[in-house]
């Protein structure tokens, strides 16, 4: 099955309102004329409405970086799925390694956030991945399997139509270490095999799995050429128009 490549930028806690609107405009203007990939941007909450309006006539979809487990109520500072959807969010990241590491999110909490996203008509981008310690200990396959089974596999095959997986090799993000295309492909193939075993070939074949390990212009083409890598979750490079559009173009032309 041919899966449409997806390049999703994660701006994290970066950009002012002015620079955010300028950047998304520059990205839209720099998209290839014959775009053969999807382009998503996870922006800070406070910019979502404006960016969604500014990109309404472009291929770019705007989403959020997190979501509350709660629908509404006395939860100061929380943002619900209904709120996100009402301001134009199309998707939301759940289980990002920084949420797991800095905010103590467990697979169980993340599963609840996926449910919250789906109930609010948002696509959930489920992030999973192992740390350097886990990889060095040889536990990376077990870690990924547990994250999938606890965080994702209680959902139905129908629900998976609105879920994208993003593999984050935490050990290769900002550490100076690099995951080779072969290492990245190995884990992506492992994830797809887990999907195959749980849901069958049809679901496994159509599920998109993104690579979230410092994908940049200098490694984009080789990584995106791997058979089970269906795009990227881009951090730092998504903040630079030339770099992000280079990656988008690489995805658009990948075989």
Closest CA to 185 of 211, 165, 203, 159: 211
| pLDDT at residue 178 greater than cutoff 80 | no
CA distances from residue 139 to 105, 151, 236 in whole angstroms, order as listed: 20, 18, 28
In this predicted structure, the answer to whether residue 173 has a pLDDT above a threshold of 80 is no
Average of per-residue pLDDT across 217-226 = 95
96 is a catalytic site residue: yes
Alpha helices in the chain (DSSP H): 17-29, 48-54, 81-86, 97-103, 107-119, 132-136, 140-151, 181-199, 201-206, 220-224, 241-253
Nearest Cα to Cα of residue 167 among 231, 108, 114: 231
Look at 129-138, 142-151, 240-249 and tell me which has the smallest mean pLDDT.
129-138
Q: Which of 96, 105, 130, 140 is catalytic?
A: 96
Counted domains in the chain: 1
Average pLDDT value for the chain: 95
Classify the phi-psi angles of 114: left when phi > 0, otherwise alpha if psi is within -120 to 50, otherwise beta: alpha
Work out the pLDDT band at 83, boundaries 50, 70, 90.
very high
Count the neighbouring beta carbons within 10 Å of the beta carbon of residue 217: 16
Instruction: Give yes or no for a contact between 122 and 80, defined as CB atoms under 8 angstroms apart.
Output: no
On whether the pTM is more than 0.85, the answer is yes
What is the per-residue pLDDT across 31-73, written as a single tens digit (0 to 9) for each? 988 899 999 999 999 999 999 999 999 999 999 999 999 999 9
Q: What would the mean pLDDT of 115-138 be, rounded to a whole number?
A: 94
Q: CA quadruple 195, 201, 206, 212: dihedral positive or negative?
A: positive
Q: Which residues of 179-193 are buried (b: 16+ CB within 10 A; e: fewer)?
A: bebeebbbbbebbbe
**Among candidates 122, 101, 118, 225, which has minimal Cα distance to 174?**
101
Q: The CATH number of the domain where 160 resides is what? A: 3.20.20.70
Question: Over the Cα atoms of the chain, what is R_g?
Answer: 17
> Tokens at residue 254, please?
């990948």
pLDDT bucket at 1, cuts 50 / 70 / 90? low
Checking if the pLDDT of 255 tops 70, the result is: no
85 is a catalytic site residue: no
Selection from 1-5, 136-140, 221-225 with the highest mean pLDDT: 221-225
Q: Who contacts 29 (Cβ-Cβ below 8 Å, separation ≥6)?
A: none
Residue 17 pLDDT greater than 70, yes or no: yes
- Domain residues for the domain of 150 are 5-253
Q: What is the DSSP letter of 153?
A: T
Question: Do 49 and 88 contact (CB within 8 A), yes or no?
Answer: yes
Q: Which residues contact 213 (CB under 8 A, 6 or more apart)?
A: 129, 167, 168, 169, 172, 173, 179, 184
Residue 117 backbone class (left: φ over 0; alpha: ψ -120 to 50; beta: rest): alpha
What local confidence, expressed as pLDDT, does residue 171 receive? 82
CA distance 224 to 101: 27
pLDDT beyond 90 at 213: no
Among the options 98, 140, 168, 188, which is catalytic? 168
Query: Helix axis angle, 17-29 relative to 241-253, nearest 10°?
Result: 40
What confidence score (pLDDT) does residue 172 get?
Answer: 78
pLDDT above 70 (res 130): yes
């Amino acid at each position: 099955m041919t899966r449409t490549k997806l390049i999703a930028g994660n701006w994290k806690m970066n950009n002012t309102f002015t620079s955010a609107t300028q950047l998304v405009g520059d990205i839209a203007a720099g998209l290839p004329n014959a775009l053969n990939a999807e382009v998503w941007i996870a922006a800070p909450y406070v910019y979502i409405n404006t960016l969604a309006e500014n990109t309404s006539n472009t291929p770019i979809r705007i989403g959020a970086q997190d979501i509350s487990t709660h629908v509404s109520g006395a939860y100061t500072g929380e943002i619900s799925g209904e709120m996100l959807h009402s301001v134009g969010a199309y998707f939301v990241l759940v289980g990002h390694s920084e949420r797991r590491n800095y905010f103590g999110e467990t697979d169980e909490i993340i599963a609840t956030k996926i449910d919250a996203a789906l109930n609010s008509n948002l696509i959930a981008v489920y992030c999973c991945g192992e740390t350097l310690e886990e990889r060095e200990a040889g536990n990376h396959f077990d870690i990924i399997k547990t994250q999938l089974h606890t965080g994702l596999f209680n959902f139905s095959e129908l629900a998976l139509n609105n879920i994208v997986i993003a593999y984050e090799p935490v050990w290769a993000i900002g550490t100076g270490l690099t995951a080779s295309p072969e290492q990245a492909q190995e884990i992506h193939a492992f994830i797809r095999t887990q999907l195959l075993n749980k849901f069958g070939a049809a679901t496994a074949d159509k599920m998109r799995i993104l690579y979230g390990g410092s994908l940049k212009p200098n490694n984009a083409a080789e990584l995106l050429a791997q058979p089970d890598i269906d795009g990227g979750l881009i951090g730092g490079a998504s903040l630079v128009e030339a770099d992000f559009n280079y990656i988008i173009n690489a995805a658009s032309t990948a075989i």
